[in-house]
């Protein structure tokens, strides 16, 4: 492996690690700090929805502006947050079959929902898993389209590195360190 390729790979893995930290912060630590997480006086909030599209339909039928804004943020957030996982998974894994990668993304989402329920730090919702799966599929599809357009894996790797460094890293660092979420 050439020195330039190693540098690109190190950058991508570094950005990917920052992205994973951001996922953990948003999905697991946005409602409770790590210190409060295991405090015996903390009130646990557990809720689960196993009916597909139930939460989304409730959001759409909601009458208040606050509920609609929350719904929009929740739906869009669940879609946007897993797109990078689909891209990076396609980039890093040797097995680039769409179905295998999509299954992995859904399993990650299910695992996160289970952790949220066990720790009592959010609503465990099948709609989140569906939206995260859709999001991961969009990331995988984006990678495949880029590969089709550029017709060279090295060029795709370079393009994703450039976009990750110029756009992804600043956004991730801003969200990790500047947003007023508990950490």
Task: Identify the CA nearest to 109 among candidates 30, 27, 15.
Answer: 27
pLDDT for residue 176 is more than 60? yes
- pTM value is 0.86
Cα–Cα distance between 48 and 179 in angstroms, integer? Answer: 27
116 touches 46 (CB < 8 A) = no
67-95 tens-digit pLDDT? 777 777 888 888 899 999 999 999 998 88
How does DSSP assign 13-37, residue by residue?
HHHHHHHHHHHHHHHHSSSS-HHHH
pLDDT for residue 121 is more than 60? yes
Q: What pLDDT was estimated at residue 75?
A: 85
pLDDT for residue 183 is more than 70? no
Confidence of residue 182 (pLDDT cuts 50, 70, 90): very low
Task: Identify the CA nearest to 157 among candidates 1, 2, 5.
Answer: 5
137-169 tens-digit pLDDT? 999 999 999 999 999 999 998 999 899 989 888
Cα–Cα distance between 39 and 32 in angstroms, integer? Answer: 10
pLDDT for residue 96 is more than 70? yes
Q: What pLDDT was estimated at residue 1?
A: 67
């Amino acid at each position: 492996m050439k020195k330039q390729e190693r540098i690109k790979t190190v950058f991508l893995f570094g950005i990917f690690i920052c992205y994973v930290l951001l996922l953990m912060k948003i999905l697991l630590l946005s409602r409770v700090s790590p210190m409060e997480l295991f405090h015996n006086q903390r009130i646990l909030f557990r809720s689960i929805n196993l009916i597909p599209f139930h939460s989304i339909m409730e959001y759409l039928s909601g009458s208040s502006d606050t509920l609609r804004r929350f719904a929009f943020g929740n739906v869009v957030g669940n879609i946007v947050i897993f797109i990078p996982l689909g891209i990076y998974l396609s980039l890093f894994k040797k097995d680039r079959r769409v179905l295998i990668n999509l299954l992995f993304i859904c399993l990650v989402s299910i695992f996160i929902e289970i952790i949220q329920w066990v720790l009592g730090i959010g609503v465990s919702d099948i709609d989140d898993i569906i939206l995260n799966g859709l999001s991961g599929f969009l990331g995988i599809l984006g990678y495949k389209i880029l590969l089709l357009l550029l017709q060279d894996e090295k060029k795709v790797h370079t393009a994703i590195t450039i976009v990750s460094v110029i756009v992804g890293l600043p956004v991730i660092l801003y969200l990790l360190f500047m947003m007023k979420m508990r950490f």
